[in-house]
Amino acid sequence: MRFACIVFPGSNCDVDMYHAIRDELGEEVEYVWHTETDLDRFDGILLPGGFSYGDYLRCGAIARFSNVMEAVKKAAAEGKPVLGVCNGFQVLLEAGLLPGAMRRNENLKFICRPVTLVVENNQTMFTTGYEASQEITIPVAHGEGNYYCDEELLKTLEANKQIVFKYKDNPNGSISDIAGITNEQGNVLGMMPHPERAVDQLLGSNDGLQLFKSILRTWREAHVVTS
């Protein structure tokens, strides 16, 4: 499987993402600069965390107009897995690939620590490696991770099982403890916690690795013909 790791000016978790795919998952990955317009050669798209365009105006607001985002939209429409972590999640929200918006953390503090997530939906292409309701440890590092949507959208997200991860102890004030959601089709996942920083026990947890393994397994089931 071949992954694109999209790099915006200000991305700073791109190296972690690259490491997770190449060294821990053992798959191909390539850094793709935001000016590129063609992602057809990739099977999966990764939008890493960081501070794209310095978070000027709003997190993700400027990155969404990068050339590469048209290609990300195309890949998403084709059903390819698209994973946005932290700032990548914010970019997906601003781009309209995921619904809702992000606000400043409720306590106004930048939060940087491991948190416990509950796997709400283990039937997505990103989570088949987890048990239903499994509790996993993944670090967060954000100042604006307070997910917001109105009541109507919340009901839709619940009905469609688009809420994939919830915080056990909500650190940022997100509505309904939401830590990660997918689009309606289920192939675009946005999450504030960093699974790429939890891929080896040396880092304190390897609970994030199953997310990448799940993507790979789903892709292999669809693309690799076994005799």
Partner 1 sequence: MFKVKVYITLRESVLDPQGSAVRSSLHALSYNEVQEVRIGKYLELTLEKNENVDARVKEMCEKLLANTVIEDYRYEIEEVVPS
Residues near partner 1 (CB under 8 A): 57-58, 61-62, 65, 94, 100-101, 103-108, 146, 148-150, 173
Pick between residue 104 and residue 213 the one whose CB is nearest to partner 1. 104
Distance CA 180, CA 162 (A): 9
Element containing residue 14 per DSSP (H, E): helix 14-19
Enzyme catalytic residues: 86, 194, 196
Q: Are strands 44-47 and 82-85 parallel, antiparallel or unpaired?
A: parallel
C-beta closer to partner 1: residue 105 or 124: 105
Compare residues 64 and 194 and give the one whose CB is closer to partner 1: 64
Token pair listed for 19: 């490491």
Report how far residue 108's alpha carbon sits from residue 177's, in angstroms, rounded to the nearest whole number.
17
Q: CB of residue 174 vs partner 1: minimum separation in angstroms?
A: 12
- Shortest separation between residue 202's beta carbon and partner 1, angstroms: 35
Say which DSSP state 48 is in: -
Rounded CA-CA distance 143/163 in Å is 21
**Beta bridge partner(s), residue 116:** 137
Residue environment code for 44-74, b if the CB has 16+ CB neighbours within 10 A, otherwise e: bbbbbbbbbbebeeebbbbbbebebbebbbe
Closer residue to partner 1 in complex, CB, 10/114: 10
Record the tokens describing residue 26, joined without a space. Answer: 């053992």
- What is the smallest separation between the CB atom of 36 and partner 1, expressed in angstroms? 22
Q: Least distance in Å: CB of 8 to partner 1?
A: 16
